[in-house]
A and B are shown apart, each in its own frame.
Chain A
C-alpha cells in the first residue's frame, strides 16, 4: 500500500510541471511584441534548450521566469506558484529557488572567487559558519578549489563561468536558468560548461539553457524549444537546432 502510494506520489511529482507558460504574451511599451501566446511546460529534472535567433524572445522568457518583468497577458507558474500573484515582498524568496547564469558571467570584479560565491549565501543571510562549509564544497565540485583567492580578471572565460555556476548553485536551487552560458567561450570551454550543466541536471536540478550554439544543441540531444519572432514554433524531445533559422 505504502509502496503504491510512494510510486503514485513520485509519478504525480514527475507529471507536475515545475515551469508552465500558459498563453503568455509580452508586449513592451515600445510596441514590440516579444512573445505571442506561448505555451509550454517543463517538468522536474528535465534539461531543456530554448533556441532561436536574435529577437526571437529567448531572453524575454528568462526575464519572465525570473520575475524581472510580467507578461502582458497569460500566466506563468513556477513550482505551482502563479508568478502574477507574487507580492513584491515574496519575489526575493521566490528567486532563491531559481539559479541563474549569464553570458557575461556577471561576477563582482573586486571580489575573489570565494567572495563571489559566498556573496550569494550572504545576501540570503545564511549563517557565516554554514557559508564556510558550503562555498569550498561547491568550488570543489566546479573544479575551482585551487582558485578561491583569484580575482575574476585572473581567470579564463571558462573558469569565470564556472564561478558563476557555483554562485548560482550554492543555494541549491530547484531550477537553473542559463542565458547563453557559452556565448563568450571557445568550443573546449563551452563543452566543459555543458558537461557541468548535464552533471548538475543528473543530480536532480531542472536545467533550462537559452542558446544559439548549434553544435552543442545538436550534440547533446536534449529537449529543444524553438522560438521565432516571439512564437514557439517547435518543441521536440531529443531535438536539434534545425528549426531555428
Chain B
C-alpha cells in the first residue's frame, strides 16, 4: 500500500466516523463496556491466581512421627518426602520449637513458667512440607501417610481449593458476559460500517468505474473499524488504570479480615498484560466486524 493510499484510507475512515457519529459512539461505547468488564474480570482473575499461588506456597502439610522414633528414622522420612517432585520445601520443626511457639502464642508468661523444663509436646516434632501445586497435595498426603514411622499427617487445602473454585466461577461468568458483549460489539460495528457504505454509495460506484481496486475501496471501511476498536479499547484502559488503586485500597480496608494475609498484584504487573490483550481484542473486533461487513456489502454485484 502506498503511503498516500494509507493516508487517504485514514482520512476517509475518520471522516466516516465523524459522519456516523452516533453509531460510531455506540460502537466505541460497546467495545469500551466490553473491555471494561474484561478488565475488571482480568483484575479479579489475575489477583486470585496470584493469591492462589501465594496460598499454594504458604499452605503446608504437617507430618508427625511415631512416639519414640529415632532421629535417623526422622531423617529418612524427610529424605523420602524431598524426593517427590511436587514438594518445594521441607522444614523440620523440633518438639522444643513447637512448644516454644505454642507458649508464645497461647500461654501467658506466668503460666508458661509453671511448666519449667518440661515439654508437654515432647512427641510433637514435625515436618512442614510445602508443595508446588496445590492439586498434588492429596496424593502427597496419601503417600506420606503410608510411610513407616509417620503417626499423623495434617493438611489444610480448603483455602486454596476455595480460591480456585471461585476463580473458575469468575472465569466462566466473565467469559460468557464477554462473549455476549463481543457479539453485540461486532454487530454494532457492522451496522456503523454498513451506514458508512450506504452514505458513500455514489462515491464507491464512481471509484469502481474509474478503476479503483477492491482493496482501495474497502480499506477506508476496514480502517474505520480498526479505529473504532482502538478507541474502544483505549477508553477502558485509561479508566481501569485510574480506578485500580482505589478499588484495591477500598477492598483491603473494607474486608481487612479476609485480605489481610493476601497481597494484590501491582498495577504495572497487571497492565503489562492487560494493555496488549485489550488492544488486540478491540482492534480485532473492529477488524473482524468491518471486514465481514465490507465483504458482504462491497461484493461487486452484477445485474443478471
Contact = CB atoms under 8 A, between A and B. Distances in A.
Contacts of A94: 211
Interface stretch (A40-48, A62-70, A209-217, A230-238): A62-70
Contact of B207 (A63, A66, A70, A123): A123
A92 interface: yes
B202 A106 contact: yes
Contacts, number: 63
Given A29-B304, A69-B303, A125 B2 contact: yes
Nearest to A66: B209
Contacts of A91: 300
B211 A68 contact: no
A144 B202 CA distance: 23
A108 interface: yes
B211 A128 contact: no
Interface stretch (B56-64, B212-220, B270-278): B212-220
Contacts of A68: 209, 302-303
A128 B212 contact: no
Interface in A33-67: 63, 66
Chain B contact-residue range equals 20 to 34
Interface string B181-212: 00000000000000000000011011111111
Contact of B206 (A63, A92, A106): A106
Nearest to A111: B203
Of residues A29, A91, A123, which shows the largest number of chain B Cβ atoms within 10 Å of its Cβ? A123
A127 B8 CA distance: 12
A89 B210 CA distance: 14
27 contacts: A28-B304, A68-B209, A69-B302, A69-B303, A88-B214, A91-B300, A92-B208, A92-B211, A92-B212, A92-B213, A94-B211, A95-B208, A95-B210, A95-B211, A96-B211, A100-B209, A108-B202, A119-B206, A120-B210, A122-B4, A123-B210, A123-B211, A124-B210, A124-B212, A128-B4, A171-B210, A171-B211
